[in-house]
Amino acid sequence: EAQVTQNPRYLITVTGKKLTVTCSQNMNHEYMSWYRQDPGLGLRQIYYSMNVEVTDKGDVPEGYKVSRKEKRNFPLILESPSPNQTSLYFCASSVTAATVLTFGAGSRLTVL
């Protein structure tokens, strides 16, 4: 089944404890991206990747890192999480940029 898989789906952590949210797609998509969703603010793009080894900042990249070493994987790294990073995170991919995004199921992160 064609899908975007993110893990973990739920995570409660503490301030400063490094964590990684994994994202993997099995559709050979070139474009991958991360979003955070907060009430009243919609979806805000954190980082995006046009292809392997190519990553760019979205609108809210502060406090996050990404890498794209393989086409299928696009992990989101929070090196020192803070409470303001408590949010619902979505990974998404598409065949190329400016085409239909397929979203993962979301990862709800709470930073205490």
Partner 1 sequence: GENVEQHPSTLSVQEGDSAVIKCTYSDSASNYFPWYKQELGKRPQLIIDIRSNVGEKKDQRIAVTLNKTAKHFSLHITETQPEDSAVYFCAAFNAGGTSYGKLTFGQGTILTVHP
**Residues that bind partner 1 in the complex, under the rule CB under 8 A:** 31, 33, 35, 40-45, 48, 50, 56, 58-59, 90, 97-98, 100-101, 103-106
Which stretches of 1-81 are assigned E, i.e. beta strand? 4-7, 10-13, 19-25, 31-38, 42-51, 54-57, 65-66, 76-78
**Least distance from C-beta 50 to partner 1, angstroms?**
5
Query: In the complex with partner 1, which residue's Cβ is closer, 14 or 38?
Result: 38
Supply the minimum distance, in Å, between the C-beta of residue 108 and partner 1. Answer: 11
Query: How far apart are the C-alpha atoms of 4 and 56, rounded to whole Å?
Result: 20
* Residue 58 or 63 with smaller CB distance to partner 1: 58
Six-digit token pair at 112?
A: 């205490």
